[in-house]
Amino acid sequence: MASEREVESIEIALMLDAIKQRYGYDLGEYVPETIERRLRSALARSGLAHFGELQHRVLHDAACFSSLLDQLTVQVSDMFRDPEFYRVFRERVVPHLRTYPEIKLWHAGCASGEEVYATAILLCEEDLYERAQIYATDLSARAVESARAGVYSQEQASAFAQNYALSGGTRAFEDYVVSGYGRVAVRERLKKNVVYFQHNLATDYAIGEMNVIFCRNVLFYFEKQLRRRVLGTFAQGLCRGGFLCLGASEAGPADAELFSDFAPRERIFRRAGAA
């Protein structure tokens, strides 16, 4: 006799297959332990007793699927997280960017946009924002909308301000936001050169001719094969000598023909065939 846990595992496998067939999202390409843990908490939150019931709801209600997808993929972010990364970016990557008349940067998996605005602030301070185009994309429609809104809590803003100073920020962080009702909103001038849209790294094409791709804290949710495929997409999307920035605890790209180390401790890599 199968145990309750084994029956649940069968249900989970069926549900992932049903999602793939119905919506085209292959969650089997994500790290299974994370997906399973998050599915269990989604089931608990739904008030339903079994995955079979959740599957039925998800299959018949696209809004329910969107909300489940948001719960399965982790949409937390931060501004100037890993301040040393931003310090090195400012000191070592910015001089290269300065040599281009136009700069294209892609935040792939931007969640609620904090890193997008950290980059926008940094580019403003380096007098590069006016020649920059920033693409902010995420799998989640809800994440894209909250990135576009750029509204954060006062507590978050205090943490952002601390990290900003540690990263070598040269002004008062408060200059970049408007405060009110316990929240802060990113100033419109930081959004001027940002375009936001939904993009699935697992299935969609690269956005081309990028000088920098940021994809921090996204790839570690992916299984090896998907990770390798996405790194291939980034290699296609970067111009020669373009920079790829990954999260602090993420392994760098293994393919030396595509990428070389630039600042490996800060997880900054360079498209091979340097410009």
Ligand X SMILES: C[S@@+](CC[C@H](N)C(=O)[O-])C[C@H]1O[C@@H](n2cnc3c(N)ncnc32)[C@H](O)[C@@H]1O
Binds ligand X (CB under 6 A): choice among 35, 115, 129, 191: 115
CA distance 151 to 64: 25
Give yes or no for a contact between 154 and 185, defined as CB atoms under 8 angstroms apart: no
Residue 163 in contact with ligand X, rule: CB under 6 A = no
- Using CB under 6 A, which of 12, 139, 144, 244 touches ligand X? 139
Phi, psi of 267 (to 5 degrees): 60, 45
Binding characters for ligand X, 74-103, by CB under 6 A (x = yes): xxxxx--x----------------------
Residues 132, 143, 186, 231: which binds ligand X (CB under 6 A)? 143
Choose the stretch contacting ligand X; rule: CB under 6 A; options: 149-157, 215-223, 236-244, 254-262.
215-223
Q: Which is nearer to ligand X, 25 or 129 (CB)?
A: 25
Residue 206, interface with ligand X (CB under 6 A)?
Answer: no
The number of helices, as runs of H, and strands, as runs of E, in the chain is: 10, 10
Q: Which long-range contacts (CB under 8 A, 24 or more apart) does 200-205 make?
A: 200/25, 200/139, 201/108, 201/109, 201/139, 201/230, 201/233, 202/25, 202/26, 202/29, 202/226, 202/229, 202/230, 203/24, 205/233, 205/236
Distance CA 273, CA 275 (A): 6
Give the footprint of ligand X on residues 218-247 (CB under 6 A). 218, 247
124 binds ligand X, rule: CB under 6 A: no
In the chain, what is the straight-line distance between the N-terminal and C-terminal CA atoms, in Å?
63
Given a contact cutoff of 8 angstroms between Cβ atoms, the answer to whether 57 and 64 are in contact is: yes
> CB of residue 5 vs ligand X: minimum separation in angstroms?
27
Q: Which stretch binds ligand X (CB under 6 A): 69-77, 156-164, 177-185, 233-241?
A: 69-77
Q: Between the CA of residue 108 and those of 78, 220, 240, what are the distances in Å?
A: 15, 13, 19
Q: 183-202: which residues touch ligand X (CB under 6 A)?
A: 199-202
211 binds ligand X (CB under 6 A): no
Closest CB to ligand X among residues 96, 227? 227
How many chain residues touch ligand X (CB under 6 A)? 23
Cα four-point dihedral sign 135, 140, 145, 61: positive
Q: Which stretch binds ligand X (CB under 6 A): 48-56, 73-81, 165-173, 236-244?
A: 73-81
Among 217, 243, 269, 271, binds ligand X (CB under 6 A): 217
Comparison of 81 and 191: residue with beta carbon closer to ligand X: 81
**What residues make contact with ligand X under the rule CB under 6 A?**
73-78, 81, 109-111, 115, 138-140, 143, 199-202, 216-218, 247
